[in-house]
Amino acid sequence: MTTGTRTEDQTRAEVRRAARALLREPLLRGGGRTADDFRLVRQHARELREWFDRNTGWGLHVDSETARLRKTPGAPDDATHPARETGGARLPFTRRRYVLLCLALAVLERSENQIALGRLAEQVVLEAADPALAEAGISFTLEERSERGDLVAVVRLLTRLGVIALVAGDDEDYLRSTGDALYDVRRRVLAGLLAGGVGPSTVAAGTDGDRLAALTADPVLESMDSADLRNRRLRHTLTRRLIDDPVLYYGTLTEEESAYLASQRTAITSRITELTGLVAEARAEGIAMVDPDDDLTDVRMPEKGTHGHVTLLLAEYLASGPPRPVPRAELEEQVRGFARQYGGHWSKTAKEPGAEAELVHRAVEKLEALALVRTATEADGTRSVRALPALARFAVGAAVVRGGSATDPTDEQEPRR
């Protein structure tokens, strides 16, 4: 009896780890870095598949080499998840890189099981001769070093995703035009790369927003209409947003979604808690599924280090006043003040004059990614930052250090405002 319970607990813990691994990295491979996670997912594939299918409508595909959770976002209007280069400054992809990435994938899809970077480049140039691309003002010759640099960035991302694997040579050599590199093409990974159930080539929509909507649509659910299916669609959308995004503000929901969430909130959040260990932080303005284990995220807050510190200090500053658009210049001024006060703990480059703009930029980017602030360009052209309700989590609390009565809630609220 006791051993039975322990196994059940163990299974529960393993399923949780597997689910978290998939949410963190929706494409896991049987070899290398993700091998352990893959094994867990494979072991509990049935349970996970059922859960995701029922609650989010995301397909989980598991074969002998890959596990892929086809995550489509609940809210497609979030621009804070760019593809990033794998090394260096991890800059977001540019227009050319995105286009190159897709062309490279189109080529790989048709290629043999191995491909040399030089050959890939040739074929990409051929693909890029498509008049539609030329019309959009894109052309590639891959003769300039900067263009080859873009291709190498793409190839590195593909390598990290596991679509291709280096066999011989070095992409640096290709970059310098002194050599070439050879790659294996992993068909299974490639096959699972697109997330949506709708192939982009079947979408006729001409505008940006329609295209996104078409990509994230569920053709099966859309095609039928019944109260049951409508509820299912609502559940999927809401669960997707809760399980994937930091904060779900009620203000962003449709009337239908609000009504459904109001009646199903506890059911939905507790199912998520059971699967992932995330805890619901339900407030008047919205819900955040917060993570006690602090590893189910790509953006951390609070975080140690200079940038983390600046972000925290700015968050406290923004949370301290009544909500208003705060110009970036004001934040930069604040950072100059912080530098005087805390600079001793900061990295050297952060203390150099003129570093404020970059510090503010990184901090705001982070806060925006966590749905804690919103940036906008005001009518007069200044760029400003506006606090969102959940930012208040990071307001300076009661005098935890100096005062003794930190546990008294009345004591705690007064000095903040």
Looking at residues 139 to 178 of the shown chain, list those that interact with another protein (rule: CB under 8 A): 161
The packing angle between helices 306-320 and 356-369, to 10°, is 70
Residues 74-103, interacting with another protein (CB under 8 A): 76-83, 92-95, 98-99, 102-103
Q: Pattern of binders to another protein over 32-71, x per CB under 8 A?
A: --------------------------------------xx
Please say which residue, 174 or 346, places its beta carbon nearer to another protein: 346
DSSP code of residue 7 = H
Residue from 247, 268, 275, 373 touching another protein (CB under 8 A): that is: 247
Query: Is 98 or 165 the residue whose CB approaches another protein more closely?
Result: 98
Going by C-alpha positions, the residue among 271, 195, 217 that lies closest to residue 239 is: 271
Tokens of 234: 């609502």
- Per rule CB under 8 A, is residue 345 in the interface with another protein? yes
Looking at 39, 156, 265, 336, which residue binds another protein (CB under 8 A)?
265
Q: What does the angle CA 177 – CA 180 – CA 183 come to, to the nearest 5 degrees?
A: 145
Distances in Å between the Cα of 14 and the Cα atoms of 11, 21, 31, 75, 275 are: 5, 10, 19, 29, 10
Q: Which stretch binds another protein (CB under 8 A): 148-156, 168-176, 252-260, 278-286?
A: 278-286
Burial of 394 (0-12, 13-18, 19+ CB in 10 A): buried
Contact indicator for 43, 18 with CB cutoff of 8 Å: yes
Structure tokens, 397: 């609390």
Residues of this chain, 186-205, that bind another protein according to CB under 8 A: 190-191, 193-196, 199-203
Closest C-alpha to 96, from 52, 45, 133, 122: 133
x/- site string to another protein, residues 287 to 326, per CB under 8 A? -xxxxx-x-xxxxxxx-xxx-xxx-x------x-------
Q: Is 411 in the site for another protein (CB under 8 A)?
A: no
251 binds another protein (CB under 8 A): no
Q: In terms of CB distance, is 31 or 76 closer to another protein? A: 76
